Structure 1
Amino acid sequence: MDNKKVNIIDAVKDAFTRFADFSGVSTRPQYWYFVLADAIASGVVTLTAGDMAQNVLSLITLLPNISVAVRRMHDVGKSGWFILVPIYNIVLLASPSKGVVE
C-alpha cells in the first residue's frame, strides 16, 4: 500500500488481494484495521447466521490473517516465523508432565 492514510476498507482490500504475498510489509494501521474488520465480521456472522457460517468465514480469512501478520512482522524487522511463537506455548500446555515437580 502507498504511504497514504489507511482506512478499514483499504486494509481489508489489501489483505485479500495480497493473501498469498508473504513478502513486503504491512503497516500497523493496515494490520489492526484488518483484525478489527475480521472481529466485527465474525461477531456479526455468528450472531446472525450461526457457528457454521462463522467457521466458513474463519476459513476464508485464515490465509489473509496469516499473510498480513507475517508482513507486519517484516515491518517491525522480525522474521515472519515469529507469528508461530504462541503455538509453542499451546504445545507446552498440551504436553504430558515429566513427573512429579515441586
Structure 2
Amino acid sequence: MDIQQSVKTVLSNYAKFEGRSGRPEYWWWVLAYIIAAVIINVVGSIVGLGEILVNLFALAVLIPNIAVSVRRFHDIGKSGWWVLIGLIPLVGWIAFIYFAAQPSVGPNEYGEGPQGPVTTSNPDNIVG
C-alpha cells in the first residue's frame, strides 16, 4: 500500500469503526496528515490564517483519524477504546505509538487481517 492508496482508503472509510487497518495504511495516513498540516500551515501563514486553517483541517479529518486508529487497534486484537490511552499526556502517547507500531495478528474477533491471510512465501504480507 502506498500513501495515495492509504489516503483513499481512509477517506472512503470516513466513519467506519469496524474492521481492521494494517500498519502500512495507518502510518501512510499519519505521514499524509502531517505533510498536509505542514503545507496548510505554511500557506495559511503566508495569507495570515495559518493556525485557523490548520485547526479547520484537523477538525475536518478528526473522525477519519479516530476511525483509522480504532481499526488499527482492532488489527492488533485490542478494543477500539484503547485509542483513548492517547489522551494521557506523555505516557499515553508513548503507549499509543507502541500499540500502533505492533504487527498485525492473524484472524481475530474483528475479522480477517486487512491484507488477507499471511502466506509462507510472503510472511510479512509485503505488497510487491
TM-score (norm 2): 0.64
Partner of 2:55: 55
Q: Which runs of 5+ in 1 are unaligned?
A: 1-5, 91-102
Matches within 5 A, 1:58-77: 58-77=58-77
CA distance in structure 2 between the aligned counterparts of 1:78 and 1:85, rounded to whole angstroms: 12
Report the identity percentage. Answer: 42
Of structures 1 and 2, the larger Rg is shown by 1
Count matched residues: 84
The alpha-carbon deviation at position 85 of structure 1 amounts to 1.2
Which 4+ runs in 1 deviate beyond 6 A?
none
Q: What one-letter code is carried by the residue in structure 2 that aligns with 1:86?
A: G
Deviation at 1:51, TM superposition (A): 1.1
- Residue 40 of structure 1 corresponds to which residue in structure 2? 35
Q: Deviations over 1:3-42 (max 9, x none)?
A: xxx0101100111110111000000000000000000000
Q: Distance in 1 between matches of 2:36 and 2:78?
A: 29
Structure 2: segments with no counterpart, 5+ residues: 45-49, 90-128
Matched, 1:84 2:79: no
Distance in 1, Cα, partners of 2:66 & 2:11: 11
Whether 1:29 aligns to 2:2 is no
**One-letter amino acid of the counterpart of residue 9, structure 1:** Q
Considering Cα pairs closer than 8 Å and 6+ residues apart, tell me whether 1 or 2 has the greater RCO.
1
